Amino acid sequence: MENILEIKDLVVSYGIIRALKGVDMVIPKGKTVVVLGANGAGKTTTMRTISGVVKSVSGQILLEGKDIRNKQPYVIAKRGISQSPEGRLILGGLTVEENLRIGAYSVKSKSNIKKSFDQVYDLFPILKERKDQQATTLSGGEQQMLAIGRALMVNPKVLLLDEPSLGLAPLIVKDIFQTVKKIAAEGVSVLMVEQNARQSLLIADYAYVMELGTIKTHGTGDTLLKDDALISAYLGKKKEKPSAAAEAKADEGAAETSAAEEDAADEGAADNPE
């Protein structure tokens, strides 16, 4: 399978703090890759180093085989890597449409800008409905959609998403993750940092778990979801097995939801009260 992005032995320091100690990652074309890990593991540093905001000490960041490591952020953006940062950074005094237009700042062709608007409004119809609304008056979920939409306005090859589920209610998170999957299916490769482990693993083609600046483990989303030891050690406690009575009751009329999805919804509810 063709890889759009390859990160090799990446080392990053903030002064005497070594934040990345030789990180390797591969992002295949048109796939969703999730990065998990505890606070301070180096997830955001990885994203910011890819987008050129943070400079690295050594290693390689290959975009379609060409090293972009330590290039200026605008050069990296021009080559096709677009980031939706943690915290969304929506421009408050502007409308939804103006925010999206700013996302397309580097695109000269009017027809390409129009195509991007169509694509974003197709992915997030609510943004079209709200296009003349002040961006700050959007709900948290809509603001997240706007942040992702804005990053898509340059028609990127790779989309970097830093914690898109932050502070959102579980159902909205599910919605956003499904759209992320759709974006990847349309050919944009996605690298997404997440705290919402179970739910993001449900849509991940591949995932990396970071710990103290290194890759602790990696595998397909399915494999990591089934790895009980990993789930309890790194991704939160596993749910207790329900009693026989509770299981029988659930069997009576419950909608068909996989155990993993139930876990995800529960975890989202606990982690992301809105």
Q: Does 165 bind ligand ATP (CB under 6 A)?
A: no
Pick the closer one to ligand ATP by CB: 97 or 194.
194
Tokens of 202: 């449900």
Amino acid at 179: T
Amino acid at 93: G
How far is the C-alpha of 106 from the C-alpha of 113, rounded, in Å? 10
Pick the closer one to ligand ATP by CB: 17 or 91.
17
Interface with ligand ATP (CB under 6 A), residue from 14, 108, 111, 253:
14
Pick the closer one to ligand ATP by CB: 14 or 105.
14
Other Cβ atoms closer than 10 A to 212? 14
What x-and-dash track marks residues 30-49 binding ligand ATP by CB under 6 A?
A: -------x-xxxxxxx----
Pick the closer one to ligand ATP by CB: 19 or 180.
19
Least CB distance from residue 221 to ligand ATP, whole Å? 19
Cα–chain center distance at 35: 8
Count residues binding ligand ATP (CB under 6 A): 11
Pick the closer one to ligand ATP by CB: 39 or 111.
39
Neighbouring C-alpha atoms within 13 Å toward the C-beta of 244: 0
How far is the C-alpha of 235 from the C-alpha of 232, rounded, in Å? 6
What is the greatest pairwise CA distance in the chain?
64
Interface with ligand ATP (CB under 6 A), residue from 5, 19, 100, 231:
19
Q: Judged by CB under 6 A, which stretch of 11-19, 183-191, 216-224, 249-257 contacts ligand ATP? A: 11-19
Whether 81 contacts 49, CB under 8 Å: no
- How far from 252 is each of 61, 85, 263, CA to CA, in Å? 53, 44, 20
Pick the closer one to ligand ATP by CB: 45 or 99.
45
Q: Which residues bind ligand ATP (CB under 6 A)?
A: 14, 17, 19, 37, 39-45
